[in-house]
Each structure stands twice: as structure tokens, then as C-alpha cells.
Amino acid sequence: MKEDLHIHSALSPCADDDMLPTNIVRMALLNGLTRIAVCDHNSVANQIALKQAADKFGLNYGFGVELQTLEEVHVLGYFETVEDILKMDEWLCEVSDPAPNRIDLFGNQWIVDQDDTLIKQHSGSLIRSLNASLNQCVSRIHACHGKAVLAHVLGRSNGIIHQLAFIPKNLAIDGIEVNEIGQKQELIEKFPWLANVPFFLNSDAHRLIDLRDADETDWLDDWEILWRKRE
């Protein structure tokens, strides 16, 4: 399956302001993708609008979020139902830093509807770490029936290897995201217990032109494998 499971919408301060539901869905379809998941930083405020836009155009959609833990590790949470993301949202409100966003420094945090209408700015600063450790974030994702995937693990900013030096053997992780296909083998050699864990290659797109394209040659695991609906 040709999927891109890590895209940012205009809610993420670092993403372009035109990362709006219809734009993202139409770009994904233009690129020949069969499913997308948008994972904004520390918030699920645009998830329902994104799902509605994807439904309207017949594109599969997976609910997602990218959490920044106290250790400044980025971990992706994926969910199947609206109820689960609403449960996640309640918890995110509890553990989010209440400090206001500085738009001049960090960028806009647009909450939008399915027709790309700008509704309001998310007030809290989404670039800050949650008041929750990596273990607590993974546990909470699981408590909300979600799957936890370590984001860009060999990335130079906020990947687990950079922040915490290695992937702990006892971390209850459901998947690993890499930036290039060769990193999968490199990681399995270093951490053999990852051999049976699904691996994902996503764009982490903050701009429309960065979404994955079905013409690309490198693909790893997909949404159904993450949820163990297919081996």
C-alpha cells in the first residue's frame, strides 16, 4: 500500500499555513497515495476535519498525533476511532504546557474545518514538551487503544537515538519510523529485538510538495500491518 502516515497540518506551528485538509487530501490523491495520517505536534484538534475531508474524496485516513515527551523524544500515536482521539485530547489538555504560542517566533497553529476554513489559533504553545515521560506517553496511547511508533528514530532532532542514545529493550513500542529505507537494517543490526516490529517510511511533510508519491520506489510497512490486520 502506498501510504504516508506522518504529515503535519497547519495546526503544527512549523508547518505551512496551506497544509489544510482539502489541500492535503487532494495532494495525496494527486500523488497516488492510498492512505494518509496527519500527526500534528501534541494536539488532535484538526483530526476530525482531516478525516471528513479524506472521506469526502474517498481517501483512507488514520487518526494520528506526534507527541513530544519530557525527554524531547518524538513519538507518534495512531488511533482508529473518534472516541479514542477524544480520550487522547482530554489527556493532552492535562499534560500540555499552558504557555501561549508566540506566533512571531514559532508560526501559526490553525484549527480548521473540513472545507479549509480557518476557525481559530490553538492558544497553547505546541512546540513545547508535554509534561509526560516517554513511558507515560506510550502507556497513554495504549490506554486510548492506539499504536505507538517512534518517530524519525535516527533523525538529528528529537529522534530517540539522539535524545536517549539507544532504544530500550523494554519499551512497548508498536513501530519504528525511519527517514530512509537503509536505516531499517542498520537499526535491526544494533537492536535485534526490533526484527519483528513494523517499520514505516513517511514524509514528515510540513509542506504540500513534500508528501510521499506513489512513484517512489522505497516502501516499508503500512497501516494494516501496524494494526496486525495483515501479516
Partner 1 sequence: MNITEICARSGWEILTKSEDHAVEGIFTGDLLSWVMGHAPVGSLWITVQAHANIVAVASLRDLAGIVIAHDVNIEQETIELANTEGVCLIKAPQSSADCVKILAGYGL
Write out the residues near partner 1 by the rule CB under 8 A. 70-71, 133-135, 161-166, 168
Centre a 10 Å sphere on the Cβ of residue 185 and count the other Cβ atoms it contains. 11
- Residue 130 CB, nearest approach to partner 1 (Å): 13
Nearer to partner 1 among residue 34 and residue 136 (C-beta) = 136
Nearer to partner 1 among residue 164 and residue 214 (C-beta) = 164
- Residue 195 CB, nearest approach to partner 1 (Å): 21
- Residue 139 CB, nearest approach to partner 1 (Å): 11
Centre a 10 Å sphere on the Cβ of residue 71 and count the other Cβ atoms it contains. 15
- Residue 162 CB, nearest approach to partner 1 (Å): 5
Nine cell digits for residue 99? 504557555
DSSP state string for 34-97: SEEEEEEET--TTHHHHHHHHHHTT-EEEEEEEEE-TT--EEEEEESSHHHHHHHHHHHHHHS-
Nearer to partner 1 among residue 37 and residue 132 (C-beta) = 132
Residue type, 92: L
Nearer to partner 1 among residue 167 and residue 205 (C-beta) = 167
- Residue 206 CB, nearest approach to partner 1 (Å): 23
Nearer to partner 1 among residue 138 and residue 205 (C-beta) = 138
Distance CA 184, CA 194 (A): 9
- Residue 192 CB, nearest approach to partner 1 (Å): 16
Contact (CB, 8 A) for 105 and 125: no
Nearer to partner 1 among residue 18 and residue 94 (C-beta) = 94
Residue type, 193: W
Distance CA 65, CA 6 (A): 9
* DSSP-derived pairing of the beta strands 147-150 and 74-79: antiparallel
Nearer to partner 1 among residue 1 and residue 164 (C-beta) = 164
- Residue 174 CB, nearest approach to partner 1 (Å): 19
Place of cell 535491526: 188
- Run of H or E residues at 161: helix 160-164
